[in-house]
Amino acid sequence: MKVDGHKLGLAGAVTSAIIFTACSIIMHFWPASVDISAAVFHLSSFGPLTAFFDLNAQIFVSGLIQSSLYTYIYLYVFVYVFNYMGRKR
């Protein structure tokens, strides 16, 4: 079975963008979510890293582009390897 890397990469990138946007909205309107996120990673707090959780338009757009692009690339490479390994020899 051959999987289309472009379609899967695009679907993953759109999904990543939706999740990134939802998390950014939650973080903007509910700052306590940063403390809850620390608990998910088994930390007492993010401590000195909280300065990096500032959210403005430039950071949002940059993060949105990066997360979508990286997801697309990872899934495209995954499909390439998947199709290569499934090829009959």
CA–CA separation, 58 vs 46, rounded Å?
22
**Residue range 50-76, pLDDT digits in tens:** 777 778 899 899 999 999 999 999 999
Looking up tokens 């757009």 gives 61
**pLDDT of res. 3:** 92
Range 7-33 average pLDDT: 92
Domain boundaries, position 30 = 5-85
**pLDDT of res. 50:** 72
From the list 68, 67, 32, the residue with the least C-alpha distance to 50 is 32
What pTM does this model have? 0.81
Domain count, the chain: 1
CB-neighbour burial class of residue 2 (10 A; exposed 0-12, middle 13-18, buried 19+): exposed
CA–CA separation, 47 vs 64, rounded Å?
24
59 Cβ neighbours under 8 A, 6+ residues apart: none
